């Protein structure tokens, strides 16, 4: 691949910002205000004047549109805005990809990747209501009591466990690692709430095969990341997290209705992985720490396999609680607590945590991180994944 | 004669309506007639589900609706316990199955597995359709439900 057609190292995340993370319904700020606060926090972290922002990227039909944001912030120029279409939070890394692409193309200089979500103000993902008729794809599922996010992805996990004979131990370990990491993270909604194996095993079914602790949280909050050119990043106060690679990932008919994706037993990362590593110039063995989007733990198992970080054969041995911990594990996972225990900010918090690991600023810092991977949205029609690194990782 | 019931398995949920652009009208008309109709390309003969305006295999826009045998085998399943809609409060667990239809290029359909909600579920088990009539719907409609095919 020619360097002219490669994101590798051309841009960097130079600032990250998050609001307080709330349990759903507990934010007193409107969703739009949460987004503005996250953007200001990211600018302060970056040492960049908010007026320098000239582009916005988001995903999942974020309600807080760039023209309104630019208006509120008083931006002199809005040169670029972008929405990535997917279901769920599969676009978190795609927003970074699109920001990096826009900057690399010269379309903008300072781009914000952001997501605001106030489930208390706009309806919960884990709850469905209404009485009006449904049509289209939902007509083939909703009248059968299949309507929540957990229900939309449970049967992929059932089939995965059936075909590969792995799952429960790994799923439990993933949940425990997330809660373990949240205990050192003061931002985490589940800070102060520990999870042991007995509690996991005794927790109620949401929908078999998912127990309560297999499922992400529902929260209010916002997160933002500032991306700019790498040469500029070198002059800013924080250690730049270079965007080594980022990809979107949808497969053959992955958006087919009524569960008709051609490859059903997948986290949706098979198409992206080869492009991601090739672009980033690294291999799975180079990944020092992983943030892997947990809508549901079963999807994480598939994601890690499809990113080449373990195999169908050894997943049960690799994905143990001891191994997934920042303190001593070989495959440190979701070191902020992730969507299960820090906050479900539709996965952007996981991208933020990858940046913190590259900077050396995490609450659960893994020693000597050079390369960090953060993915988004397993099992959705289009997922996305990104690799960040230090200057040293560029070689 | 295909099997049917007038007893709703999950009463009170939102009812299906044909797509406003007309795409799947033949399917919902078919269920009312207790027939299972799916798309098949008139050019390359591949079966397609969910419905779309174009054949995903050959990109022909000439798609037929054909009746297929209302049988399949369980491809995957889940058993929801947590009520996600007010109509499911106190309903207790129920079973959602994903059924593969080998006679139609292995397209898949979602429905409920009728019978004991706590029954053991075997992936690969043969299942057959029970058309669930909701004559009191507005308008009336019919869902496609499944039961394990008896050995006899």
> Which residues in chain B have Cβ-Cβ distances shorter than 8 Å to A257?
49-50
- Residue A129: closest C-alpha in chain B: B85
- CA atoms of B131 and B32, how far apart (whole Å): 8
Indicate the average pLDDT of chain B: 96
Residue A79 lies in a domain: yes
- CA atoms of A340 and A296, how far apart (whole Å): 8
Residue A338 lies in a domain: yes
- CA atoms of A43 and A247, how far apart (whole Å): 25
B10-28 tens-digit pLDDT: 999 999 999 999 999 999 9
Q: Where are the beta strands (DSSP E) in chain B?
A: 4-5, 36-41, 47-48, 63-68, 71-80, 96-101, 107-112, 126-134, 141-148
Q: What is the pTM of this model?
A: 0.97
Mutate to test the interface with A, among B57, B80, B92 (most CBs of A within 10 A): B80
Residue A272 lies in a domain: yes
- How many pairs of residues across A and B have Cβ atoms under 8 Å apart? 131
| Arithmetic mean of pLDDT, B21-37 | 98
Question: Is A207 close to B79, i.e. CB distance below 8 A?
Answer: yes
The minimum CA-CA distance between B43 and chain A, rounded to whole Å, is: 20
> Which residues in chain B have Cβ-Cβ distances shorter than 8 Å to A129?
85-86
* Residue position matching structure tokens 């449970």: A154
pLDDT block averages, 10 residues each, chain A of length 395: 81 98 94 98 98 98 97 98 91 98 98 94 81 94 96 97 93 98 98 98 98 95 98 96 97 96 97 94 98 97 98 96 97 98 96 98 98 97 97 92
- CA atoms of A244 and A242, how far apart (whole Å): 6
> Which residues in chain B have Cβ-Cβ distances shorter than 8 Å to A259?
76, 98, 108, 110
Question: Is A162 close to B123, i.e. CB distance below 8 A?
Answer: yes
Counting beta carbons within 10 angstroms of the beta carbon of residue A306, is it exposed (0 to 12), middle (13 to 18) or buried (19 or more)?
A: buried
Joined together, the tokens standing for residue A219 give 């929260």
The minimal CB distance from A141 to the residues B76, B86, B110 is found for B110
Mutate to test the interface with A, among B28, B94, B110 (most CBs of A within 10 A): B110
Residue A172 lies in a domain: no
Which of the given ranges, A113-127, B117-131, B138-152, has the highest pLDDT on average?
B117-131
Q: Give kind and range of the element (H or E) at residue A339.
A: helix A338-341
- Asked if A348 and A225 count as a contact pair (C-beta separation under 8 A), the reply is yes
- Tell me what pLDDT residue A391 has: 96
> Which residues in chain B have Cβ-Cβ distances shorter than 8 Å to A151?
78, 80, 84, 96
Residue A27 lies in a domain: yes
Domains in chain A: how many in total?
A: 1
CA–CA distance from B65 to each of B42, B108, B125 (Å)? 9, 16, 27
State the residue range of the domain holding A37.
3-123+215-394
- CA atoms of A132 and A140, how far apart (whole Å): 15
Question: Is B75 close to A128, i.e. CB distance below 8 A?
Answer: no
* Residue position matching structure tokens 């939102």: B14
| ipTM here | 0.98
- Tell me what pLDDT residue A2 has: 56
- Residue A152: closest C-alpha in chain B: B78
The minimal CB distance from A204 to the residues B10, B81, B108 is found for B81
- Tell me what pLDDT residue B63 has: 98
Task: Just list the catalytic residues of A.
Answer: 293, 344
Residue A146 lies in a domain: no
Q: β-strand A80-84 against A55-59: which pairing, if any? A: parallel
- Asked if B114 and B77 count as a contact pair (C-beta separation under 8 A), the reply is no
Question: Is B19 close to A130, i.e. CB distance below 8 A?
Answer: no
| Arithmetic mean of pLDDT, B84-93 | 94
- What values do phi and psi take at B148, rounded to 5? -65, 130
- The CATH number for A118's domain is 3.40.47.10
Residue A282 lies in a domain: yes
Residue A152 lies in a domain: no
SS3 state of residue B31: helix
- Tell me what pLDDT residue B105 has: 98
- Tell me what pLDDT residue A246 has: 98
Question: Is A151 close to B78, i.e. CB distance below 8 A?
Answer: yes
- Tell me what pLDDT residue A243 has: 98
> Which residues in chain A have Cβ-Cβ distances shorter than 8 Å to B15?
133-134, 143
């Amino acid at each position: 691949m020619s360097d002219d057609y490669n994101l590798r190292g051309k841009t960097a995340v130079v600032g990250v910002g998050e609001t307080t993370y709330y349990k759903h319904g507990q934010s007193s700020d409107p969703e739009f205000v949460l987004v503005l606060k996250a953007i200001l926090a990211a600018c302060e972290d970056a040492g960049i004047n908010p007026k320098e922002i000239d582009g916005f990227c988001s995903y999942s039909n974020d309600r807080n549109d760039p023209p309104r944001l630019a208006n509120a912030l008083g931006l002199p120029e809005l040169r670029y805005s972008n929405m990535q279409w997917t279901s769920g939070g599969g676009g978190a890394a795609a927003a970074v990809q699109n920001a990096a692409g826009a900057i690399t193309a010269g379309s903008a200089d300072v781009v914000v990747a952001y997501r605001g979500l106030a489930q208390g103000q706009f309806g919960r993902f884990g709850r469905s209501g209404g009485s009006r008729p449904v049509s289209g794809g939902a007509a083939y599922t909703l009248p059968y009591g299949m309507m929540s996010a957990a229900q939309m992805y449970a049967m992929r996990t059932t089939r995965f466990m059936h075909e590969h004979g792995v799952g429960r131990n790994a799923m439990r370990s993933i949940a425990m690692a997330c809660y373990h990491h949240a205990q050192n993270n003061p931002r985490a909604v589940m800070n102060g709430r520990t999870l042991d194996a007995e509690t996991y095993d005794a927790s109620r079914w949401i929908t078999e095969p998912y127990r309560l602790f297999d499922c992400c949280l529902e929260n209010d909050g916002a997160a933002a990341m500032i991306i700019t050119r790498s040469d500029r990043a070198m002059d800013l106060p924080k250690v730049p997290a270079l965007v080594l690679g980022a990809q979107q990932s949808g497969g053959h008919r992955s958006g087919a209705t009524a569960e008709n994706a051609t490859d059903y037993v997948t986290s949706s990362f098979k198409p992206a992985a080869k492009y991601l590593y090739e672009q980033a110039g690294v291999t799975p063995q180079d990944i020092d720490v992983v943030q892997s989007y947990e809508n549901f733990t079963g999807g994480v198992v598939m994601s890690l396999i499809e990113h080449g970080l373990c195999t169908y054969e050894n997943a049960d041995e690799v994905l143990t609680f001891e191994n997934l911990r920042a303190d001593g594990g070989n495959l440190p996972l979701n070191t902020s607590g992730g969507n299960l225990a820090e906050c479900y900010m539709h996965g952007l918090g996981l991208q933020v945590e990858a940046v913190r690991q590259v900077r050396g600023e995490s609450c659960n810092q893994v020693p000597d991180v050079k390369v960090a991977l953060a993915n988004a949205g397993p099992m959705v029609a289009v997922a996305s994944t990104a690799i960040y690194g230090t200057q040293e990782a560029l070689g | 004669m295909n099997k049917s019931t007038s007893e709703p398995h999950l009463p009170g949920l939102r009812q299906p309506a044909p797509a406003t652009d007309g795409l799947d009208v033949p399917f919902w008309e078919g269920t009312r007639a207790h027939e299972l109709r799916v798309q098949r390309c008139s050019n390359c003969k591949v079966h397609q589900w969910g419905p779309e305006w174009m054949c995903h295999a050959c990109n022909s826009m000439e798609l037929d609706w054909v009746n297929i045998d209302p049988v399949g085998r369980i491809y995957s399943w889940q058993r929801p316990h947590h009520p996600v809609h007010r109509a499911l409060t106190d309903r207790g667990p129920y079973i959602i199955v994903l059924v593969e239809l080998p006679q139609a290029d292995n397209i898949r359909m979602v429905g409920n597995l009728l019978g004991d909600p706590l029954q053991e579920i075997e992936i690969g088990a043969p299942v057959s359709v029970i058309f669930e009539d909701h004559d009191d719907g507005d308008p009336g409609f019919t869902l496609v439900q499944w039961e394990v095919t008896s050995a006899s």
